[in-house]
Structure formats: structure tokens, C-alpha cells
Amino acid sequence: MQKKPSLGFFSFTGCSGCEFTVLFIDGILDILDKFNIEYFHLLKEKNREAQYDLAFVEGAITTKREIEKLKRIRKQSKFLVAMGACATHGGIPIQRNFIEKKELQKYVYNQKMLKDSIDVAPIDKFIKVDHYLYGCPIIKSEFIEFIEAYLKGKKKEQFKGPVCMECPRRGKDCFLNQGIECLGSITQGGCKALCTSQNVPCTMCRGPLESANFPVEIKLLESFGLSKKEILNKLRYFTDKVKSK
């Protein structure tokens, strides 16, 4: 019998929602059984540091200590996947970077901790990432497709194009035509337009497309009557890529 590939799940600062999404997959135990699980603290005791054929990293990086751990995991891993918005773009925790320093002081109760703290960042600020699973949380089917390809020795292609490409409202009742702020047109697609298909505008949880033109987007949202503050709040939900002018 062929040796099973070794697998690790690592979690930094976030809500663990992506690890839970993985555990919520139907048939997850059969999937995990194809691997030697070396590290998954949510599921097992005796997690050991080892060499990993495949590593999933969840959460944003918020401390110097986390940077060191992340770098160590990278060295130990042959193939590393950023799992979920916190790891790929900083996610909700990155909103912390926009709290004014004076305001932030009110929430700091431990100076030692502050010393260790850095601006919140996605993991690829510090290490090379081999594959991205986008979303807050990740999409189960994308996780499964990735694993299936991996086990066949193939690399799953990243989806190319905006959320609009899969949106059922496209050309019919597009939110933008109704003056409702939807970020689908500048957001990395592949989620089958889950939110817009349920009457909820896209909030860019999968991060912006490389081609996203923020100045144009800001003008568009201004034309909907949104204030500058509202617009920046929208564009900085899951990422800090949008700078104020």
C-alpha cells in the first residue's frame, strides 16, 4: 500500500469557521482517512510538529510570534494552502488596522501583548502560498475539488473572473442597476454567487480581483449616495488593499 500523505491544519487569528466548515463536510472522515493527520488541534491530542505534504493555514497574522510559527510551518510543508478570508486577505480581523491609534489604546489592557502585536496581515505577506481557498468561510465544494485534484497529483486551477460571472441576477435584476451596493463585479469569483442568489449583495469576502479598479468603484458607490465612510467600510470589510485617497 502506498504511504498516505501527511496533513496539517493550522489556525492563527480568526474564528475557526473554516476548520469547522471542513468538519461539516459530508463524508469528511473518509476524506481525512486518505491522509496521515499530523496536526489538527481541533480534532486530536498529540499533535506533533512534523514534515507535512499538505498544510492548510487558517487565520490572519497578528503578532510577531505568529510570524515565527507561520515561517516554521512553511519550512515543514511541501504544499501550503491559505484557507479562508483571514489567511488570504486578512479577513474581518484586518479591520483592526483602521481603528485609530487613540481609540485602540482603550482596548489594550495588556502592554506586553501590544509589544508583540503587528498590523494584521494575510499570510502571504510573510511566506509563499501554493494555493488559495477564498471566502468567509471557505466553500466546501472548492475544498473537496482541491483535495481530489491533489490526491491525483494535480493542481486545481483558481477560478478566474468576478462573482458576476456566476450570478443569477446578471442582466436581470442586478443590484447595481437598483442602486444597491454590491461588490460582486470587483470580487474574485468561484462561489457560485452564493450571497447574491439569496438576495444579499456581495461583500467581497473572497477578496478583490487583481483588475479591480477601486477609484471607479468608489465613484460608483458615491453615485448611490453613500458617504465616504460607508464606502470605505464596505471596501475594507475583508481586506486592507483599499487605501483612502
The 13-32 site mask, x for binding other proteins (CB under 8 A), equals xxxxxxxxx-xx-x--x--x
The 58-97 site mask, x for binding other proteins (CB under 8 A), equals --xxxx--x------------------------xxx-xx-
Min separation Cβ 187 and other proteins, Å: 15
198 to 147, 163, 172, 194: CA distances (angstroms): 28, 14, 15, 7
Cα–Cα distance for residue pair 151/9, rounded to 1 Å = 17
- What residues form DSSP beta bridges with 131? 81
The 93-132 site mask, x for binding other proteins (CB under 8 A), equals x-xx--x---xx-xx-xx-xx---x--x------------
Cα–Cα distance for residue pair 73/65, rounded to 1 Å = 13
Cα–Cα distance for residue pair 196/163, rounded to 1 Å = 9
Q: Is 45 in the site for other proteins (CB under 8 A)?
A: yes
Q: 230, 209 in Cβ contact below 8 A?
A: no
Q: Is 33 in the site for other proteins (CB under 8 A)?
A: yes
Residues in the chain: 245
Q: Is 200 in the site for other proteins (CB under 8 A)?
A: yes
- Per-residue cell: 129: 502560498
Min separation Cβ 23 and other proteins, Å: 7
Min separation Cβ 17 and other proteins, Å: 3
Q: Is 155 in the site for other proteins (CB under 8 A)?
A: no
Cα–Cα distance for residue pair 28/23, rounded to 1 Å = 6
Cα–Cα distance for residue pair 188/211, rounded to 1 Å = 10
Q: 235, 242 in Cβ contact below 8 A?
A: yes
> What angle, 0 to 180 degrees and rounded to 10, lies between the N-to-C axes of helices 214-223 and 228-235?
130
Beta carbon nearer to other proteins, 110 or 211: 110
Taking CB under 8 A as the criterion, the residue among 144, 149, 203, 209 binding other proteins is 203
Min separation Cβ 29 and other proteins, Å: 5
Cα–Cα distance for residue pair 83/148, rounded to 1 Å = 16
The 163-182 site mask, x for binding other proteins (CB under 8 A), equals --------------------
Question: Given the rule CB under 8 A, which residues bind other proteins?
Answer: 11-21, 23-24, 26, 29, 32-33, 37, 41-47, 60-63, 66, 91-93, 95-96, 99, 103-104, 106-107, 109-110, 112-113, 117, 120, 136-137, 194-195, 198-200, 203, 229-230, 233, 237
